[in-house]
Amino acid sequence: MKIFVTGGAGFIGSNFIRYMMKKYPDYKIVNYDKLTYAGNLDNLKDIADNPNYKFVQGDICDYDKVAENIKDVDTIINFAADSHVDRSIGHNPGDFIQTDVYGTFTLLEAMKNSKKPLERFIQISTDEVYGDIEAPNFSKEIDPLKPSSPYSASKAGGDLQVMAAYRTFDLPVLITRCTNNYGPYQYPEKLIPLFVTNLLEDEKVPLYDGGTQIRDWLYVDDHCSAIDLVLHKGALGEIYNVGANNDPEITNLEITKKAIEMCGKDESYIEPVEGIRPGHDQRYAVDVAKIKKLGWQAEVEFDEGIERTIKWYQDNKWWWEKIKSGEFKKYYDKQYKK
Ligand code: NAD
Ligand code: DAU
């Protein structure tokens, strides 16, 4: 099988490529990535020389380049996105529409017009498209979309393009909607890597709105196994929720305390911050019965996954110190030191 992975130099895409190359050594993978601030070839240093792996720098909005590069592939898996909620609010919202909506549309157009028909297109979407969900409810795949942020609205727009391509052009598409991932190689703008690396640098951690919010944290390898299953067994035109169903549910404050404890600090390192994320969703939770029926199960318990993750950031300063001294510094100052 030859897979065209977009956004493979980011957090989840790079973990997915590593996962697939290990599990299916004869598969060929083209990693097509624009290398925005979030794309980092260091994430895949260890497999860069594998003859079944090829990197192409390109934008998913560039129709001609996409068309040229999908000529002989079987499947497209679209991870490419602008992915950070805070950046979609106070930084560069237009880029989200461009990549997450227009870029997704461009990939579908190129697939539709390809001489060799492709077997599958998997859109890597998010539980955020359902919006805030009050306990004890869980979002189902058939629920209406109620995105809260410019990021999640742009992801919802991408999903609608995908489903329209199924209905109108009969393209063989599927969508996954996963909850919050964590693990190695996550860009340090997101909660867990930001807080852990700040603490390792003896910096405070900016905890929003009291830290009462709930996310359903899933270790990134479990997301990869879900995509693998959907790739091989998912039904065309279907949407699959993916999530850990953390029980009990976990608040941001609990995660913060865990990071503080593991980094040998105390709670004076918490910097309470209010109103920096307007429209802040309180809780996400998805019903995962459908993908479980297909044969998927999360394997990594949160306690184990978070310890593994924090240890990874402790052991891999080479990876994040480089990032934090570059583009990130400007972003951080604008976001947190206004
Ligand atoms: P990320 O920000 O770490 O990586 C995004 C990657 O896409 C980067 O390598 C970037 O260079 C690339 N990219 C951006 N714009 C591009 C363009 N126009 N053309 C080509 N490449 C482009 O994101 P992530 O956290 O790895 O998320 C990957 C996907 O999974 C996204 O679609 C996101 O919406 C979705 N998702 C993320 C999470 C999460 O918790 N991180 C959860 C559910 C779904
Ligand atoms: O639910 C899936 C989504 O999870 C993905 O679609 C997104 O791409 C991904 O970024 C993530 O979105 P969140 O907004 O949930 O993740 P983030 O790590 O930015 O924030 C998690 C929670 O932590 C949220 O309630 C806001 C809070 N937070 C975040 C940051 C960056 C803080 O309290 N302080 C911070 O500095």
What spacing in Å lies between the alpha carbon of 18 and ligand 1's midpoint? 16
Give residue 33's pLDDT: 99
Helix extents (H) in 201-288: 220-233, 252-262
- The number of folded domains in the chain is 1
What spacing in Å lies between the alpha carbon of 299 and ligand 1's midpoint? 23
Percent of the chain with pLDDT over 90: 99
Which pair of structure tokens corresponds to residue 255? 């995660």
- C-alpha distance from residue 176 to each of 103, 115, 124, 154 (Å): 17, 26, 5, 15
Percent of the chain with pLDDT over 70: 100
Atom of ligand 2 nearest to the CA of 216: 1
Q: Which domain holds residue 141?
A: 2-182+217-244+282-300
Residues 6+ apart with CB under 8 A from 149: 85, 88, 89, 128, 279, 281
What spacing in Å lies between the alpha carbon of 180 and ligand 2's midpoint? 8
82 lines ligand 2 (CB under 6 A): no
Q: Is residue 21 part of a domain?
A: yes
Q: Is residue 198 part of a domain?
A: no
CATH of the domain at 30: 3.40.50.720
151 is catalytic: yes
Q: Is residue 233 part of a domain?
A: yes
Q: Is residue 310 part of a domain?
A: no
Which residues' Cβ are closer than 6 Å to ligand 1? 6-7, 9-13, 33-36, 38-39, 59-61, 79-83, 99, 103, 124, 126, 155, 178, 180-181, 187
Q: Is residue 320 part of a domain?
A: no
Q: Is residue 202 part of a domain?
A: no
**Whole-prediction pTM value?**
0.98
Q: Which amino acid belongs to residue 286?
A: V
Give residue 249's pLDDT: 98
Q: Which of 33, 128, 189, 222 is catalytic?
A: 128
pLDDT confidence band for 326 (50 / 70 / 90): confident
- C-alpha distance from residue 88 to each of 155, 189, 206 (Å): 11, 13, 18
pLDDT tens readout for residues 281-303? 999 999 999 999 999 999 999 99
Q: Which of 82, 127, 189, 216 is catalytic?
A: 127
Residue 227 pLDDT greater than 90, yes or no:
yes
pLDDT tens readout for residues 174-224? 999 999 999 999 999 999 999 999 999 999 999 999 999 999 999 999 999
Per DSSP bridges, beta strands 173-178 and 120-126 are parallel
Q: Is residue 234 part of a domain?
A: yes
Atom of ligand 2 nearest to the CA of 209: 33
pLDDT confidence band for 338 (50 / 70 / 90): low
304 is catalytic: no
The pLDDT mean for the chain works out to 98
Q: Is residue 316 part of a domain?
A: no
